[in-house]
C-alpha cells in the first residue's frame, strides 16, 4: 500500500520535473538533470505530498514543492558522487552522472538542479508569503548550516585523527540527510500556513532512523539489490551508528525513533497512517 | 568618482555578506565562501544598489539583493575555476578556492553560496510578492536557460569540430555572463514594483560590452595586473569576439554597445550618471 503510494507519487513528481525541464532544451546538461532525478524512491517528494494532504493542500498545489525537493536531493547526490567527494560510480543502479557524461556536466547539472528547486518554489500556486517561507526554509536546510555543513563535516572526518563520536555523527547526519527530510515534512504545513512543528518532530526522528538504516544496509545489504556500492564505511574505517552501537544496538535505536516519529503523528489521527507506514518503511527497506 | 562609488558599495556589500556568513560557524567551507566573495570589482552588487536608488529603494533595503548577486557570482567563479571546468589556479590575484583549500571544499562552497543567494533574497525587507519576483528572476538567470546554459555551451564548444559563430558566441555570453548582469540591473525596479524593461535593455548592452572587453583583455591585458591568466583563448584556439571581429572591430562593437546602453538610460535623466559611467568603465577597464 505504501509502495503503491510511493510509486504513484513518484510518477507524478517525475512528470512535474519533466515538464519543468522541457523548456530548457536539449543540452547534455539538461539530459543529465533529468537522469539525476530518476530512479530514486522519491521519499522526500512523497513526504511533501502527504504533509500537504494532511493540511488540506491539494496535490496539484503541492507538486511544485515535491518536485523542488527531489531536484534539490538530486543535486546533492550528483555532487556527492563526484571524484573529489565520495567518488562513486554507481547510483540507483546506474552509472553516476559524471560516469555517464563527465565531471563538468555533473557539476553543472547539480548546480542547475539546485537553481531549479528554487525556481519551482517561486512558482508554486500558494500566497507569496508562503512561497517565501518555503524558499527560506529550504535555503536554511540546504546551506552551510544544513546539508552542506553535514557534507563538509563528513569530508573533514575522513582526515580527522579520531573517529567521530556518536553525538558528532548525529549532528553530521541531521545536516547531511536530516535537513532536507525535515523540510519535506514541513512543506505541507508551510503551504497551509499551519504550524510546522509536529511534522518537524516526526521528520527529525525518521531522518535519523533513515540514516541508521543506511549504515545497517552498508553492513548487511547487497550491492546488486541496492544499486550502489556497499561495505564502504568499514573499508574506510568510518565511524557510523553501527560502529558505535553495534548491529543490534543500531536496530534498537532505529525502532525507538520510529516510535518517536509515530508519537508526533498522534494529533493527526488515522489520516496520518501513510506517514506511519513510511516511518516503518525507512527502517525496514532493503535498498 | 565611479571608482569611489564602486569601492564604497563593495565594502557595504561585503559587510552584508560577512554578517550573513557569521552565524554559519568556522568550518573551512564557510571560510572558503567568504574568500570567494572577496576581491572582486563588485559590479553586480553596485548595479543592484544603483538600480534600486534610481527607483527610490533605499540602500539598506537593497543590500540583501546586492549581497545575493555577489554570492551567486562568487559561486559561479568557484565552480568555473575547478579542474574539470576551466582549471584555473589564479582568480582576483589569489589562488582559486580549490587551490587554497581542495576540490571538495570548492564544490561545497560554491553550492552553499548559491543557496545563500536565495536565502538572502527570501529575507529582503520588501513585500513577499517582490521577493518572489527577485527569486524567480534570479533562478531563471542562473539556471539551465541562463548562466548554466552558457557555461554548458562553452564546454561543448571546446570539443566541437567548428569554432562558434559570432551569433553563437553572443548567445553563449548572454547566458554565461549576461543573465546575472541583467538581473542585477532589474533588481532595483523589481524591488520597487516598477517596470524592469529599460534597465534590462541597459544591462543587456553592458553585459555584452563587458564580455567583448574581457576578450580584448585576454589578448592585450597583463596577467599580473589582472590577477588571472591571460592569452588563454588563443592558446585554446577558442572563437571569441576578437577572433571574429579583430581588435579594432571588437573595440568598435563595444563602443556601440555603450551608446546603446546610455540610450536606454535617457528616461532616468542625470540621476543615472553613475550607470553611464559604469557603462564606459566596463569597456575601458584594465582588469
pLDDT in tens, B162-175: 899 999 999 999 99
Q: Find the range with the poorest average confidence among A177-191, A204-218, B223-237.
A: B223-237
Residue B230: pLDDT above 80?
Answer: no
| Model pLDDT, residue A6 | 94
Nearest CB partner across the interface for A84, out of B107, B122, B156: B107
Query: For A129, which residue in chain B has the nearest alpha carbon?
Result: B128
Partner A contacted by B112 (CB < 8 A): yes
**Region of residue B87 (left: phi > 0; alpha: psi -120 to 50; beta: else):** left
CA atoms of A185 and A193, how far apart (whole Å): 14
Residues of A in contact with B103 (CB under 8 A): 84
Domain boundaries, chain A: 2-284
DSSP state at residue A267: G
| pLDDT band at A212; cut points 50, 70, 90 | very high
Contact: A128, B123; criterion CB under 8 Å: no
| Model pLDDT, residue B189 | 98
Residue B237: pLDDT above 80?
Answer: no
Contact: B139, A129; criterion CB under 8 Å: no
Nearest CB partner across the interface for B114, out of A114, A149, A152: A114
Q: Find the range with the poorest average confidence among A8-22, A161-175, A215-229, B124-138.
A: A215-229
| Model pLDDT, residue B238 | 84
Residue A33: pLDDT above 90?
Answer: yes
Contact: A111, B79; criterion CB under 8 Å: yes
Residue B278: pLDDT above 80?
Answer: yes
Asked whether A275 and A265 are in contact (CB, 8 A), the reply is yes
| Model pLDDT, residue A276 | 97
The interface residues of chain B toward chain A in range 69-108, judged by CB-CB distance below 8 A, are 75, 79, 82, 84-85, 102-105, 107-108
| pLDDT band at A199; cut points 50, 70, 90 | very high
Asked whether A255 and A241 are in contact (CB, 8 A), the reply is no
CA distances from A101 to A86, A168, A175, B58, B160 (A): 17, 35, 29, 46, 16
- Radius of gyration over every alpha carbon of chain B, rounded to an integer in angstroms: 18
Mind telling me how many Å the CA of A33 is from chain B's nearest CA? 9
Q: What is the pLDDT of residues B55-92, one digit of tens each?
A: 999 999 999 999 999 999 999 999 999 999 999 999 99
Phi and psi at residue B145, in whole multiples of 5°?
-110, -5
Residue B287: pLDDT above 90?
Answer: no
CA atoms of A118 and A115, how far apart (whole Å): 5
| pLDDT band at B235; cut points 50, 70, 90 | confident
- CATH code, residues A2-284: 1.10.600.10
| pLDDT band at A286; cut points 50, 70, 90 | confident
Query: For A130, which residue in chain B has the nearest alpha carbon?
Result: B128
Q: Find the range with the poorest average confidence among A87-91, B222-226, B235-239, B261-265.
A: B222-226
Instruction: Among A37, A64, A107, pick the best mutation site for testing chain B contact (most B Cβ within 10 A).
Output: A107
CA atoms of A126 and A191, how far apart (whole Å): 7
Amino acid at each position: 500500500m505504501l509502495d503503491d503510494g510511493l510509486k504513484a507519487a513518484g510518477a507524478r513528481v517525475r512528470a512535474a520535473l519533466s515538464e519543468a525541464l522541457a523548456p530548457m532544451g536539449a543540452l547534455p546538461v539538461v539530459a543529465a538533470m533529468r537522469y539525476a532525478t530518476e530512479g530514486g524512491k522519491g521519499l522526500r517528494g512523497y513526504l511533501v505530498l502527504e504533509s500537504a494532504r494532511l493540511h488540506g493542500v491539494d496535490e496539484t498545489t503541492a507538486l511544485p514543492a515535491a518536485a523542488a525537493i527531489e531536484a534539490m536531493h538530486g543535486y546533492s547526490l550528483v555532487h556527492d558522487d563526484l571524484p573529489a567527494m565520495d567518488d562513486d560510480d554507481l547510483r540507483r543502479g546506474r552509472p553516476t552522472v559524471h560516469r555517464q557524461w563527465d565531471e563538468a556536466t555533473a557539476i553543472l547539472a547539480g548546480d542547475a538542479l539546485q537553481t531549479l528547486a528554487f525556481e519551482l518554489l517561486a512558482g508554486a500556486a500558494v500566497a507569496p508569503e508562503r512561497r517565501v517561507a518555503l524558499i527560506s526554509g529550504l535555503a536554511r536546510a540546504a546551506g552551510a548550516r544544513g546539508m552542506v555543513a553535514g557534507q563538509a563535516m563528513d569530508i573533514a572526518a575522513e582526515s580527522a585523527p579520531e573517529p567521530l563520536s556518536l553525538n558528532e555523527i548525529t549532528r553530521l547526519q541531521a545536516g547531511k540527510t536530516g535537513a532536507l527530510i525535515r523540510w519535506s515534512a514541513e512543506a505541507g504545513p508551510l503551504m497551509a500556513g499551519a504550524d510546522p512543528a509536529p511534522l518537524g518532530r516526526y521528520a527529525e526522528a525518521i531522518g535519523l532512523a533513515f540514516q541508521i538504516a543506511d549504515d545497517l544496509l552498508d553492513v548487511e545489504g547487497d550491492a546488486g539489490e541496492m544499486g550502489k556500492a556497499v561495505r564502504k564505511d568499514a573499508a574506510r574505517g568510518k565511524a557510523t551508528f553501527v560502529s558505535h552501537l553495534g548491529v543490534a544496538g543500531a536496530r534498537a535505536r532505529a525502532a525507538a525513533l520510529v516510535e518517536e516519529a509515530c508519537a508526533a503523528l498522534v494529533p493527526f489521527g488515522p489520516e496520518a497512517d501513510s506517514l506511519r507506514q513510511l516511518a516503518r518503511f525507512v527502517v525496514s527497506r532493503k535498498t
